[in-house]
Structure 1
Amino acid sequence: MTSSDIWRLNATDLTALTRNKDISAEDAVKSSLDRMQQVNPDLNAVVEDLSDEALTRARNLDKAVANGAEPGPLHGVPVTIKINVDQKGHATSNGVVALKDVIAPADAPVVRNLQDAGAIVIGRTNTPEFSFRADTDNELHGRTNNPWGRHISPGGSSGGAGAAVVAGIGALAHGNDIGGSLRFPAAANGAVTVKPGLERVPAWNPSQKTERGLLAQSMSVQGLITRSAADLHLSMPSLIAPDPHDPFHVPMPWRGTAGEGPIKVAFTKDTFGYALHPEVDRALDIARDSLVDAGYHVEEVAPPDVFECGRGGYRALMGEVLTLLKSDIEAAGSQTIRDIFEVYFQEFPPITGTDLIGMLAKRSHYAREWSLFMQNYPLVLSPFLPQPFFKPDRDTEGAEGVHEVLGCAVYSYAMNFLGLPAASVPALLANLPQGPQPINVQIAARRWREDMAVDAAAAIESRVGQMCLPLWDKMSASA
């Protein structure tokens, strides 16, 4: 492999070389930066180029290792950080023009944990305003494009992260997820991710002036988007390192105990009245067969009511948003985001006042139902979206657009309300009339067992392959 091709390496393969000193951290960073210069102008995934900082850090890491320092588990791995998380000396704009000069006084725990492990931040990635769309565009930095083509949204809110990592800009991409913001970009771009469970990854922004609402705290999680499931096993143990700034973080090891016998998987195609597209149906069959071939015991069985739980949970979140965030959106948001939120409130009528307190109490009921169900079925394989991923700006097209983008995504935000981990992995590259696009499925797991969800994603990936490979061929052919 030539130095110019190092960017193609997954983090797992790259660290095997950097830790053994076969490749320097500087070489790894240079290759990713070259790739960024090549493809990012068309994608607008990275909106702050940190080339100079990255090269300086890489050289310092190389010197330290040359002088006898032990390389970290992510030594020399290029990574991107989403612009809604604090990185010292850089703007935490959250995609909002009015916040463009909010400079972080210190690193958020996820940034520090990645850097402590030896990762090197090469850029900061785009997000929609207030990080509250399943698409990525804003008046501050503009639209992020999907590397598969302009016929697909890049997803959101971690759309810049998903587009960057799949296109080869860094081996790891940081993102976060309050209702699907890791999994939407993974599905849109053909990447792999796991939404961690409640309090699995420490979270805090040193620049914040007030604490987030209770549901935002409990539904939002930090995570990573990758090209390969193996890279999640490599990187997540570093990401979950404890930090005292998050007093509710649960410091559990990444790997749980192995169970006896084949792991039982509940398999469902139920989309609660939303039409299931034939290609999504086919992707689910491929994912099921992949797990069966890998030794899992897969049964078609209905999990507890996802629709009631998911819709109720998101309506409760909208009640909190209406109470705590709406004034900020009205004051600092564009007309586009204000219009979208008005339709959100129609699609998900906000639960407020006494009813909101009641729904917060009922959350335990839903979580208990799932906990009991998962005693028998530690994993649940389901659709992520019932249809192939939507086009850019679909959520600006009124009630019908928001319904297609978020209304039908109950398998997504239900997992946030429950606080359960959920992986997203490609199971099919569909050739649709508008162009090729990946189809991802979701694998939910028992509480604290992100590792099991990632194992299952790896089993599916081993059969389907990594979506980045045909994408890179496509990008090269069109260059």
Structure 2
Amino acid sequence: MDNGEIWRLDAAEQSTLTRAGDLSVVETVQSAIDRMYALNPTLNAIVEDLSVQALDRADFLDAARARGEPTGPLHGVPVTIKVNVDQKGHATTNGVVALKDVIAPDDAPVVTNLLNAGAVVIGRTNTPEFSFRADTDNPLYGRTHNPWGRHISPGGSSGGAGVAVMTGMCALAHGNDIGGSLRFPAAANGAVTVKPGLGRVPAWNPSQKAERGLLAQSMSVQGLITRSAADLNLAMPSLIAHDPRDPFHVPLPWRPENTGTPLKVAFTKNTFGYALHPEVEKALDTARDALIDAGYAVEEVEPPDVFECGRIGYRALMGEVLTLMKGDVEAAGSQTIQQIFATYFQEFPPIEGQDLIQALGQRSQYAREWSLFLEDYPLVLSPFLPQPFFKPDRDTEGAEGVHEVLGCAVYSYAMNYLGLPAACVPARLANLPQGLQPINVQIASRRWREDMAVDAAAAIESRVGRMSDHLWNKLDVPN
């Protein structure tokens, strides 16, 4: 392969070649950097260029391998880190102008684990202010654009990550998810991800001045956005490595136990009164058929109430946000983000005081109902969003906009409240009046069984193909 085309390889392919010595890390990293230089000025996915440091590390890894030192599973794989997570010596801005000089004293566990596995960080990716939008724009770095077209939001809050990995600027993109921030960008860009369950990936920012709220701790998780499900199976075992700085991390292997076949899958198209777009329904049907052909036992059956659980969960989160974050948003946030938060509080009336304490207790009931259901049906295939992905700045258009962006996304944030894993994978490329647009579906799984969800995503991907291949055909001249 021509050196200029190495960026096309998946992370699994890159690591196989670099570990064998058939490809140098310098060549691999340089190809990603060249791709970043070609596309990023138009797309604004990577907001801090670390190419100089990346090439130094690439030299180091090549030399270490030449000396016969062992190589990690991600040896030489170009990755990006989201700007809301600590990377030693770099600003953890969270997309906020007032935080532009908050320099991390050390790496967060997720960064440490990626580096220990041999990955090479080439840049840091964009996020909205406070990482609390499903779209990506902020006064510090500006807007990130979706490579499929300016009519589609890039998603958020890991919008820069989704764009970077899908366009070939990196092979793996770090992101995080408190209500959908891995899955929204995956759906917007046609990428693959799995939102890990509670405690699966160690998390902590050494730069933080105070501990986060209890719901923020339990609903927010660290993860990766990739172009293929195989790359999740490659990289996630490294991401979940134990780190004692997270006292609630659960040090289980990626595949805790063997599973019998066929796995039963609960299949639902229920969108709780929100209109189900025909293209989303076609994507669901394709995903169902792919799983059946792969040997899964798919049954159309309703899981426990997602709508009530999701809405209560997000209202509880808004109660915590109102108490712990509102002052920061008012002090350091733009007028745009302040208006969006005001609308969030309308869409999800915050649960406060004694009601919040009771809601937190009720969380166990919802989780128990799901735990029992998943004993019979280890996987749940559902819509991610009921409609194709929304346009940029839709959440700035008042109550109707926020309702379309987040109000209908109950399958997303319900999984955060429950602490369950949920993969998001493209199942259709829709030809809409605005242009081509990927449509993703969601696969939730048993607690600690992210691998089950990823395997199911791989089965769907084997039927549909990688969306990146279609995207690259239209990226000869970025739009």
- For residues 313 and 456 of structure 1, what CA distance do their matches in structure 2 show? 26
Contact 1:256 1:451 in 2 (8 A): no
TM-score (norm 2): 0.99
1:132 maps to a residue whose letter is: F
Match of residue 377 from structure 1: 377
Shift of 1:386: 0.1
Shift of 1:478: 5.6
For the residue of structure 1 that corresponds to 2:314, the secondary structure is helix
- More displaced 10-residue stretch of structure 1: 98-107 or 256-265: 256-265
Match of residue 61 from structure 2: 61
Contact 2:96 2:129 in 1 (8 A): yes
Match of residue 186 from structure 1: 186
Contact 1:383 1:411 in 2 (8 A): yes
Contact 2:39 2:478 in 1 (8 A): no
Shift of 1:477: 5.7
Shift of 1:259: 2.3
Is 1:305 aligned with 2:305? yes
Match of residue 223 from structure 1: 223
Match of residue 470 from structure 1: 470
Shift of 1:260: 2.3
1:419 maps to a residue whose letter is: G
Shift of 1:435: 1.0
Contact 1:423 1:443 in 2 (8 A): yes
Shift of 1:452: 0.2
- Structure 1: runs of 5+ lacking an equivalent: none
Is 1:70 aligned with 2:70? yes
- For residues 246 and 33 of structure 1, what CA distance do their matches in structure 2 show? 33
Match of residue 342 from structure 1: 342
Please list, as runs of the form range in 1=range in 2, the aligned pairs for 1:27-426 lying within 5 A after superposition: 27-426=27-426
Please list, as runs of the form range in 1=range in 2, the aligned pairs for 1:7-22 lying within 5 A after superposition: 7-22=7-22
TM-score (norm 1): 0.99
What RMSD over aligned residues (CA atoms) do the two structures have, in Å? 0.6
| Closer/same/farther in 2, CA of residues 478 and 39 from structure 1, 3 Å limit | closer
- Structure 2: runs of 5+ lacking an equivalent: none
CA-to-partner distance for each residue in 1:355-398, whole Å, 9 max, x for gaps?
00000000000000000000100000000000000000000000
For the residue of structure 2 that corresponds to 1:476, the secondary structure is coil
- For residues 413 and 431 of structure 2, what CA distance do their matches in structure 1 show? 28
CA-to-partner distance for each residue in 1:100-150, whole Å, 9 max, x for gaps?
000000000000100010000000000000000000000000000001010
**Displacement over 6 Å in runs of 4+:** none
Contact 2:47 2:123 in 1 (8 A): yes
2:461 maps to a residue whose letter is: E
1:247 maps to a residue whose letter is: P
Contact 1:91 1:104 in 2 (8 A): yes
- For residues 261 and 152 of structure 1, what CA distance do their matches in structure 2 show? 39
Contact 2:147 2:478 in 1 (8 A): no
CA-to-partner distance for each residue in 1:126-182, whole Å, 9 max, x for gaps?
000000000000000000000101010000000000011001110000000000000
2:226 maps to a residue whose letter is: T
For the residue of structure 2 that corresponds to 1:105, the secondary structure is coil
Contact 1:216 1:317 in 2 (8 A): yes
For the residue of structure 2 that corresponds to 1:188, the secondary structure is helix
For the residue of structure 2 that corresponds to 1:200, the secondary structure is coil
